[in-house]
């Protein structure tokens, strides 16, 4: 019978309860090797510091004679993973906003909502509080981005290199005013 | 002296009474198991299955819901998904999703009950909770996403899409062997369709490209399914819409696609994405595998020459009684589940609209995936089943040594309780097909033709759609042929 008892005991010993703990959001935790929050945070931090210290951008702002206004355009994801670029773009936007180096205007998704509401106000709001048409601020620069990844696989090993590039382009001249790039290379062994 | 004999008599009477008591209990237990336990999961739900297969959905649902105890049983997952599927077929999408959500949460929160797991080694695997096959957890989210799309709630469908993505990642992380089912092309295609409905063309492109890669690398090899023509068109169109020029050129020339084959439907048109659920998924039956036992030194070998299976067990550390118990085994039968295919009644289908006919392409062969999933963990399942039977036999032998009658009764009970786990989600379709049809905005009609050799059956549908609207339509044909065991490849279960 000992074999039976050993088996039962063995199974019981390996049983453990599920635990949940809160960790510091800045703490890097890598599980599968895919893109995760740590990568998004790294990209945001790198891009913010590159923009804040960019001589080309400072020169542009000086020539313009005022704080440039930025609108977020298209971020293209050419990787094989469904990555939500908003995770780092929102951090990037917030840093721009808080550092006062530029103004931000709403991008198309939210802008359309504002226009709908403004149209409603024309009919239903008190004229004294009604938002006026034609007062939107035109952006000077548009933010674009692209993410690519190169993967090399052999047996149970995988190397993935993620390249995230952001750039600011002048609305009138199409000239690129600023570039930021961050690479993250991962080596995963199954 | 007399006193001692008297004591011995009393002692032996107590033992006899004790044994009688155990004997009665064992016989009663055996009778209960005999009365309730011999049927497979399919047979135990005969009344529901009959109604469902005949398309009497109201009646099938009533049978299902009358048995509320199932929701708290070891089969709760199957109770939820069956309710979800039947309600979805009855167009009661919100109720369906309430059940499917419970099934999803069951999968999220499932934790192994080690006591039940241990008990299964002494009786049979049916005492453990049915946790659901990998593909069943994906399929339930497919139904859920489609339900939301039919309700017009794209954002909720996108939530299911993200959940599917996590499930797919878990699946690919679990298996390291590329001969295993570890990537689901159909689910990637579905994700692409959902993203496209949300006009998120970038994610749609990624999903379609992943799907095409999996059809080419895995599905063609494992299930004999090639990249559906519709998917090729969708992928190239998405590359174009995203401005991914190099990818656009690459896939267009790779698949030799004619110019104009992948254009967006004109702005004044609408679209129907038509899914056809053909036939029924396989059911599980019980299968007895005979093993011969060979003992050499401190090792016992269980082997079956026909299947080329050999399991060695070390006897190191076991006492002499246990070794003797194992050594006396010569041959024994292990109950093991095996799938029975319910072959398709209809072989193909097409849709006719405005005089043009287009075929429906095979996206997923649920039947083959089910067979594959069982085969790829057959080694593990067989070894578990072997330990189970060996344990029972050893106990039986040891009891026999002390009491022959009790040992024989235990032998009978062990034979009765030896039973395979025949549970699976049996209301799923055998195969899933799809196509996309551009229809004019406003009123439109299309005809679905199901073909069985030279005979065909038609179904007409009419829609009223807005400009640019994408409508998801599913059609289920439950007809199938008499079940058979399908093809079993004895080599393919290996890791």
Q: Mind listing the pLDDT tens digit for each residue in A48-75?
A: 999 989 999 999 999 999 999 999 998 9
Nearest to B322 among A3, A11, A79 (CB): A3
Give the end-to-end CA distance of chain B in Å, rounded to a whole number. 67
Measure in Å the smallest separation between the Cα of A41 and chain B Cα atoms.
21
- The verdict on a CB contact (< 8 Å) between B118 and A34 is no
A7 Cβ under 8 Å from any chain B Cβ? yes
- Where does the pLDDT of residue B495 fall: very low under 50, low under 70, confident under 90, or very high at 90 and above? very low
Mind telling me how many Å the CA of A17 is from chain B's nearest CA? 9
pLDDT of B487 reads: 44
Is A1's CB within 8 Å of B398's CB?
Answer: yes
Strand B470-477: give its sheet, edge to edge.
B361-365, B431-440, B269-278, B470-477
Chain A hits for B395, Cβ within 8 Å: 1, 4
Instruction: Identify the pLDDT of residue B64.
Output: 93
Q: What sign has the CA pseudo-torsion B210, B103, B144, B60?
A: positive
Positive or negative, the CA dihedral B52, B55, B56, B57 is positive
Provide the pLDDT for residue B72.
86
Which of B118, B203, B243 lies at the smallest CB-CB distance from A11?
B118
Report pTM.
0.81
What dihedral do alpha carbons B246, B251, B253, B257 form, nearest 10°? Answer: -130
Q: Which residues lie below 8 Å from residue A145, measured CB to CB, with a gap of 6+?
A: A74, A75, A76, A85, A89, A164, A165, A166, A167
Residue B455 Cα to chain centre, angstroms: 31
- Do the bridges between strand B283-296 and strand B269-278 make them parallel or antiparallel, or are there none, so unpaired? unpaired
CA distance A50 to B425: 54
**What are the residues whose beta carbons fall under 8 Å from the beta carbon of B354, sequence distance 6 or more?**
none
Q: What is the pLDDT of residue B259?
A: 76
DSSP assignment string, B274-306: EEEEES---EEEEEEEEEEEEEETTEEEEEETT
Listing DSSP states for B350-402 in one string gives EEEETTEEEEPEEEEEHHHHHHHHHHHTHHHHHHHHHHHHHHHHHHHHHHHHH
Categorize the per-residue pLDDT at B409 as very low, low, confident or very high, splitting at 50, 70 and 90.
confident
Task: Return the pLDDT at B368.
Answer: 94
For B330-367, b/e burial (b = at least 16 CB within 10 A) is: eebebbbbbbbbbbbbbebbbbbbeeeebbbbbbbbbb
Q: CB–CB of B340/B285 below 8 Å?
A: yes
Look up residue A37 and give its DSSP letter: H
Which residue on chain A is closest to B172 by alpha carbon? A32
User: Cβ separation of A14 and B114 shorter than 8 Å?
Assistant: yes
Pairing status of strand B455-465 against strand B442-452:
antiparallel
Neighbours of B234 (CB within 10 A): 23
In what side-by-side order are the strands of the sheet with B356-359?
B356-359, B348-353, B442-452, B455-465
> How many residues make up chain B in this entry?
495
| Confidence grade of residue B483 (pLDDT, cut at 50, 70, 90) | confident
For B275-304, what is the mean pLDDT?
84
Cα–Cα distance for residue pair A181/A50, rounded to 1 Å:
9
CA-CA-CA-CA dihedral for B275, B278, B284, B287, to nearest 10 = -130
Average pLDDT, stretch A168-179?
Answer: 95
Residues 6+ apart with CB under 8 A from B312: B299, B300, B301
- Residue of chain B nearest A84, judged by CA positions: B203
Q: Which two tokens stand for residue A188?
A: 């995963």
Q: Which of B111, B202, B319 sits opposite A77 (nearest CB)?
A: B202
Indicate the residue of B114, B191, B244 with minimum beta-carbon distance to A11: B114
Cα distances (angstroms) measured from residue B267 to each of A65, B192, B196, B479, B484:
44, 20, 15, 38, 49
Is any Cβ of chain B less than 8 angstroms from the Cβ of A156?
yes
Strands A176-189 and A157-170: antiparallel
User: Is the CB of residue B483 less than 8 Å from the CB of residue B342?
Assistant: yes
Asked if residue B65 has pLDDT above 80, the reply is yes
Q: What are the pLDDT digits (tens) for B74-127?
A: 899 999 999 999 999 999 999 999 999 999 999 888 777 777 777 777 677 777
**Chain A partners within 8 Å of B391 (Cβ):** 3-4, 7
d(CA B97, CA B45): 23
| Rounded mean pLDDT, B33-54 | 78
Q: What is chain B's alpha carbon radius of gyration, rounded to the nearest angstrom?
A: 28
Calculate the dihedral angle through the C-alpha atoms of B360, B343, B141, B227, rounding to the nearest 10 degrees. -40
Give the H or E element holding residue B30.
helix B2-37
């Amino acid at each position: 019978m000992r074999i039976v008892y050993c088996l039962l005991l063995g199974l019981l010993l390996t049983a453990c309860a599920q635990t949940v703990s809160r960790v510091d959001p800045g703490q890097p935790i890598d599980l599968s090797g895919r893109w995760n929050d740590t990568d998004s945070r790294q990209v945001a931090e790198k891009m913010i510091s590159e923009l804040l210290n960019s001589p080309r951008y400072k020169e542009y702002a000086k020539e313009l004679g005022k704080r440039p206004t930025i609108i977020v355009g298209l971020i293209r994801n050419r990787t094989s993973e469904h990555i939500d670029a908003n995770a780092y773009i929102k951090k990037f936007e917030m840093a721009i906003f808080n550092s006062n180096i530029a103004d931000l205007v709403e991008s198309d998704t939210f802008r359309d909502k504002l226009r709908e509401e403004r149209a409603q106000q024309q009919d239903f709001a008190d004229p004294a509080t009604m938002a006026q048409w034609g007062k939107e601020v035109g952006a000077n620069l548009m933010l674009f981005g692209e993410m690519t990844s190169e993967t090399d696989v052999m047996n149970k090993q995988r190397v993935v290199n993620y390249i995230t590039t952001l750039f600011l382009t002048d609305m009138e001249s199409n000239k690129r005013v600023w570039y930021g790039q961050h690479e993250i290379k991962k080596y995963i062994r199954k | 002296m007399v006193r001692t004999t008297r004591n011995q008599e009393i002692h032996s009477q107590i033992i006899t009474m004790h044994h009688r008591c155990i004997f009665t209990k064992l016989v009663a237990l055996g009778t209960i198991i005999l009365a309730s336990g011999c049927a497979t999961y399919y047979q135990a739900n005969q009344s529901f299955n009959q109604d469902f297969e005949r398309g009497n959905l109201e009646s099938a649902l009533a049978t299902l819901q009358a048995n509320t105890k199932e929701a708290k049983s070891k089969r709760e997952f199957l109770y939820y998904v069956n309710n979800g599927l039947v309600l979805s077929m009855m167009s009661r999408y919100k109720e369906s999703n309430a059940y499917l959500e419970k099934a999803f949460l069951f999968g999220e929160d499932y934790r192994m009950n080690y006591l039940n797991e241990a008990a299964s080694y002494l009786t049979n695997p049916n005492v453990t909770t049915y946790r659901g096959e990998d593909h069943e957890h994906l399929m339930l989210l497919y139904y859920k996403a489609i339900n939301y799309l039919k309700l017009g709630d794209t954002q909720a469908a996108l939530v299911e899409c993200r959940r599917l993505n996590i499930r797919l990642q878990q699946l690919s992380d679990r298996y390291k062997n590329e001969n295993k089912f570890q990537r689901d092309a159909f689910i990637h295609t579905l994700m692409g369709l959902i993203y496209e409905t949300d006009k998120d063309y970038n994610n749609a492109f990624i999903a379609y490209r992943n799907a095409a890669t999996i059809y080419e690398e895995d599905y063609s090899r494992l299930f004999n399914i090639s990249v559906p023509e519709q998917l090729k068109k969708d992928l190239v169109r998405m590359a174009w819409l995203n401005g991914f020029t190099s990818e656009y050129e690459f896939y267009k020339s790779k698949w030799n696609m004619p110019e104009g084959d992948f254009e967006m439907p004109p702005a004044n048109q609408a679209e129907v994405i038509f899914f056809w659920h053909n036939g029924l998924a396989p059911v599980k039956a019980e299968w007895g595998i005979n093993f011969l036992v060979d003992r050499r030194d401190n090792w016992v070998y269980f082997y079956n020459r026909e299947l080329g299976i050999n399991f060695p067990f070390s006897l190191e550390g076991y006492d002499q009684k246990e070794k003797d118990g194992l050594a006396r085994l010569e041959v024994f039968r292990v109950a093991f589940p095996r799938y029975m295919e319910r072959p398709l009644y209809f072989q193909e289908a097409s849709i006719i609209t405005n005089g043009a006919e287009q075929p429906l392409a095979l996206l997923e062969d649920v039947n083959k995936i089910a067979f594959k999933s069982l085969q790829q963990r057959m080694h593990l399942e067989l070894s578990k089943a072997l330990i189970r039977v060996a344990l029972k036999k050893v106990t039986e032998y040891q009891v026999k040594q002390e009491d022959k009658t009790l040992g024989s009764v235990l032998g009978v009970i062990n034979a009765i309780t030896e039973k395979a786990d025949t549970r699976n989600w049996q209301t799923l379709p055998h195969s899933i097909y799809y196509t996309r049809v551009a229809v004019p905005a406003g009123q439109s009609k299309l005809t679905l033709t199901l073909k069985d050799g030279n005979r065909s059956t038609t179904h007409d549908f009419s829609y009223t759609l807005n400009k640019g609207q994408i409508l998801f339509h599913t059609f289920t044909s439950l007809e199938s042929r008499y079940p058979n065991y399908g093809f079993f490849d004895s080599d393919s279960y290996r890791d």
